[in-house]
């Protein structure tokens, strides 16, 4: 990983996301881009109506964040960027133009979304991004070591695409990769496919020389809830999932399982775009 793009709106959640990005940079040596987007509603959020004054205040806040981040990661290259437009469009385009990049965003911003649901900007960022997106919730603590990384395995062909990224994360943090076959529905055919998928994932882990475990669960309810509950019981630090996509713009192009995992997850969630899908246009 060479570049980490952090979306900042100066909310506590986005600053928490920045601290996680700094922690990742310490392991990966990636350059950090702290990006603030001047949106149509930015003036009310900063309490300033004059454009020049608003940019000045935003830059001062960004400079402060850069300086604080450099205290935690003195060897990391960190700089700030100001863009203008719609936050989800500007952030995804900026990150997509950088080589080997990842986006880091908070699950909630200052837009006032209800606490139990991921904010609309975050949903749109995940739906449009061509690079992995790391989502950090409000209550995710920065001082936890990344020791257990979960990769749920389903029956889709694309499910194995995330394993390479999950393996790389394990290498960076010397973490264990937990492969979890999610059997839903609980049919013989489903279980057979999951077994085949798990065997492929295990082969990839052994070839990479990382620590891993593999198990399955039978789900008779909502698979996303069951997966998050299992992850919580196992004290998982990070969950890596594939982005499911739909053509319905009202769903922000995300499949229902992706949206549910984003809403239910109590740990950081790394969402990997499907590289075999045609690019999504705005």
Specify the pLDDT at position 161: 93
Count of domains in the chain? 2
Q: Which of these three, 92, 116, 136, is where a domain ends?
A: 136
H helices of 116-269, in order, are: 120-128, 161-173, 188-208, 223-233, 256-264
Quick check: is 269 in a domain?
Answer: no
Q: How many residues appear in the chain?
A: 282
Tens of pLDDT, residue by residue over 213-257, are 999 999 887 788 999 999 999 999 999 999 876 544 444 455 677
Residues 57, 111 within the same domain = yes
- Note whether 39 and 109 are same-domain residues: yes
Are 107 and 212 found together in one domain? no
User: Could you tell me the end-to-end alpha-carbon distance of the chain, in angstroms, rounded to an integer?
Assistant: 27
Q: Report which of 185, 178, 174, 179 is spatially closest to residue 200, judged by C-alpha positions.
A: 179
CATH number at residue 189: 3.40.50.620
Going by pLDDT thresholds of 50, 70 and 90, the confidence category of residue 281 is very low
CA distance 211 to 225: 26
In a domain, 214, yes or no: yes
124 with 48, same domain: the answer is: yes
pLDDT at 265: 85
- φ and ψ at 18, to 5 degrees? -60, -40
pTM attached to this predicted model: 0.88
Query: Residue 66 gets which letter from DSSP?
Result: H
In a domain, residue 274? The reply is no
Residue 268 within any structural domain of the chain: no
Domain membership flag for residue 37: yes
> Could you say which of 105, 136, 167 is where a domain stops?
136
Of all residues in the chain, the percent with pLDDT exceeding 90 is 63
Tell whether 55 and 106 lie within a shared domain: yes
Confidence of residue 280 (pLDDT cuts 50, 70, 90): very low
Classify strands 238-242 and 133-136 as parallel, antiparallel or unpaired: unpaired
At 95-131, the pLDDT tens digits run 999 999 999 999 865 443 333 345 678 888 998 999 9
Closest by Cα among 52, 32, 34, 54 to 42:
54
Is the per-residue pLDDT at 212 higher than 60? yes
Q: What is the pLDDT of residues 133-151, one digit of tens each?
A: 999 987 676 667 789 999 9
What is the span of the domain harbouring residue 131? 3-136
């Amino acid at each position: 990983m060479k570049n980490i793009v952090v979306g900042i709106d100066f909310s506590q959640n986005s600053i928490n996301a920045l601290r996680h990005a700094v922690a990742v940079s310490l392991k990966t040596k990636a350059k950090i881009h702290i990006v603030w987007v001047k949106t149509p509603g930015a003036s009310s959020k900063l309490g300033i109506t004059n454009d020049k004054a608003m940019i000045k205040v935003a830059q001062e806040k960004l400079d402060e964040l850069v300086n604080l981040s450099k205290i935690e990661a003195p060897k990391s290259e960190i700089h700030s960027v100001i863009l203008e437009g719609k936050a989800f469009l500007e952030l995804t385009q900026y990150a997509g133009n950088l080589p080997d990049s990842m986006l880091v965003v908070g699950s909630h911003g200052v837009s006032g979304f209800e606490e139990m649901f991921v904010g609309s900007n975050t949903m749109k960022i995940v739906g449009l991004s061509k690079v992995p997106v790391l989502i950090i919730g409000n209550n995710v603590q920065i001082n936890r070591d990344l020791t257990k990384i979960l990769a749920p395995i389903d029956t889709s062909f694309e499910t194995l695409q995330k394993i390479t990224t999950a393996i790389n994360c394990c290498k960076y943090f010397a973490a264990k990769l937990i492969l979890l076959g999610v059997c839903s529905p609980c049919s013989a055919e489903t279980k057979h496919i999951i077994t085949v998928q798990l065997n492929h994932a295990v082969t990839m882990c052994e070839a990479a020389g990382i620590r891993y475990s593999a198990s399955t669960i039978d789900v008779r309810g909502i698979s996303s809830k069951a997966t998050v509950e299992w992850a919580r019981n196992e004290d998982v630090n990070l969950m890596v999932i594939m982005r499911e996509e739909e053509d319905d713009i009202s769903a922000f192009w995300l499949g229902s399982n992706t949206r549910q995992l984003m809403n239910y997850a109590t740990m950081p969630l790394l969402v990997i775009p499907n590289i075999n899908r045609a690019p999504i246009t705005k």
